[in-house]
Amino acid sequence: MNEFIQYVIQLFQRYGADLAAQIATSRAAIGVMPGGMENVVPDLKSVETDLVSAYQSGTNTAAECLHTLFEKHRAWIARMRGKMCDADGYEGLADAYRSHPDIITRI
């Protein structure tokens, strides 16, 4: 079983059936984007790279530049989900950022 499938199984076990609807919504939103994920991943990589750089350089967490980067990240996530992300969605996203091998490698 590949890592992504194992990861999705772990998410279902932790967050329950509601996650299935969130994943389906995201896949539908991605499906109608010109170029699919290949076209939008560079936008995310840019935001992630800038966030990592800001934190590594010791940027104050209250800095306006971080606020701007987080707004870009929220907009990107909303585009992937087809709607704004709620607190539960961000909890799942935080889990992904901490544990998904592809994300860890990327950032």
The predicted-structure confidence for 38-83, as pLDDT tens digits, reads as follows 776 777 788 888 988 998 999 998 899 999 998 998 888 887 777 7
- Whole-angstrom distance, CA of residue 105 vs CA of residue 88: 24
Question: pLDDT > 70: what percent of the chain?
Answer: 72
Q: Tokens 């907009």 label which residue? A: 75
**Number of separate domains in the chain:** 1
pTM of the model: 0.63
Question: pLDDT > 90: what percent of the chain?
Answer: 10
Q: Which domain holds residue 74?
A: 3-106
CB atoms within 10 A of CB 22: 19
How much is the average pLDDT of 11-39? 70
How much is the average pLDDT of 18-37? 69
- Tokens read off for 60: 């104050």
DSSP assignments along 54-80, one per residue: HHHTT--TT-HHHHHHHHHHHHHHHHH
Residue 17 has pLDDT above 90, yes or no: no
- Tokens read off for 94: 């935080």
**Secondary structure letter of residue 81 according to DSSP:** H
The predicted pLDDT at position 3 comes to 67
Residue 5 has pLDDT above 70, yes or no: no
